[in-house]
Structure 1
Amino acid sequence: MMIFIKHKYLLMIAAWMIITSVAGGLATEIGPWYFSLKQPDWKPPDWAFGLIWTIIFILSAAAWMIAFNNRPTRSQKISLVSLFVLNSVLNILWSIFYFRLHHPDWSLIEAGFLWLSVLGIMVVMWPIRKLAAFLMLPYLIWVTIAMCLNWETLVLNPGAY
């Protein structure tokens, strides 16, 4: 029975990872508007973003799997699923605001909620298994960096949105 449950979790987590990454990728439109923006000197090259997000999603999926395999309470399971769904919506919404609607101002505000959703996941994971919470740390760090990039883009491009 336990093997079946672990596979069920694996499929759910893999589906979350695939749906969120594909939807976020489809929402990301790098075109003339994006290339016209002045970027901070410290911005990573565009090709690095896909690699960074792949690593973050793999670590997040591993964290979720570790937490679910360490016998969380029903309430903790519901909280984690709810927070990961919320996180996915916020992740995709950021790309829509920034890349589709060309509103880095809206995406910066939204990124604060994205950051809080990652922190919330970590807080729920902490009592279940600290390793799971630590595996979410790169995601929190990356969202912090993305918020700084987003802010600097606003500063360097007044009126570009």
Structure 2
Amino acid sequence: MIPPWLGIGLVTLAVPFTCNRFISSRDFRWFKNLRRPDWLTFEWAIPIIWTVVFICGAWSAYNVWQADPGSISTWLMMGFYLVVEIAISLYTVVMCKSRSLKIGTIIGGTGFFLGAILAVMVQSRSNLAFWLLVPYLLWSPVGTFVTWQMMQLNPLDV
């Protein structure tokens, strides 16, 4: 049997890697050619930010698992972690495939609300699990706002 930390870690890696396999070089070029807000000077840091967010999310899930390993309610929470991660991972794929910043903004906002619901759910299980979701809850609105701003700068790509 695989240890919980490894299973959670593998799922955390598998979801975004699987989703990103559907992005073609043409999709990526579309996204790279979009105009960005002048104040977006930290775009180079976005992959680092997302790496931290995913690590914190996995660590949060592990803490919830450790609080009540194997119970039905814990499995349901693990399922909700998966739903949030899928929403996060679909943002880029669906936005690039549809070539729609509006869809990206909607998915980003939805992901934030799902993450907020998850944070409220896990707080009763583990304070640490809750606090480990805070980086996502802080970053998600920023990323969604950037996408919304890009929508204003690229009206043909709404």
TM-score, L = length of structure 1: 0.84
Asked if 1 retains the 8 angstrom alpha-carbon contact of 2:20 and 2:93, the reply is no
What is the aligned counterpart of 2:7 among 8, 12, 21?
Answer: 12
Aligned to 2:21: 26
User: Where in structure 1 are there 5+ consecutive unaligned residues?
Assistant: none
Correspondence 1:158 to 2:155: yes
User: Where in structure 2 are there 5+ consecutive unaligned residues?
Assistant: none
Asked if 2 retains the 8 angstrom alpha-carbon contact of 1:118 and 1:140, the reply is yes
Post-superposition offset of 1:156: 1.1
Aligned to 1:51: 48
| C-alpha RMSD of the superposition | 2.2
Asked if 1 retains the 8 angstrom alpha-carbon contact of 2:101 and 2:157, the reply is no
TM-score, L = length of structure 2: 0.86
Asked if 1 retains the 8 angstrom alpha-carbon contact of 2:16 and 2:86, the reply is no
Q: Give every structure 1 segment of 4 or more consecutive aligned residues whose post-TM-superposition deviation is greater than 6 Å.
A: none
Cα separation, 1, equivalents of 2:89 and 2:65: 24
Asked if 2 retains the 8 angstrom alpha-carbon contact of 1:56 and 1:138, the reply is yes
User: How much identity, in percent, do the aligned residues show?
Assistant: 20
Tell me the amino acid that sits aligned with residue 77 of structure 1: T
Q: How does 1:96-107 map to 2 (within 5 A)?
A: 96-107=93-104
Cα separation, 2, equivalents of 1:109 and 1:61: 24
What is the aligned counterpart of 2:39 among 34, 37, 42?
Answer: 42
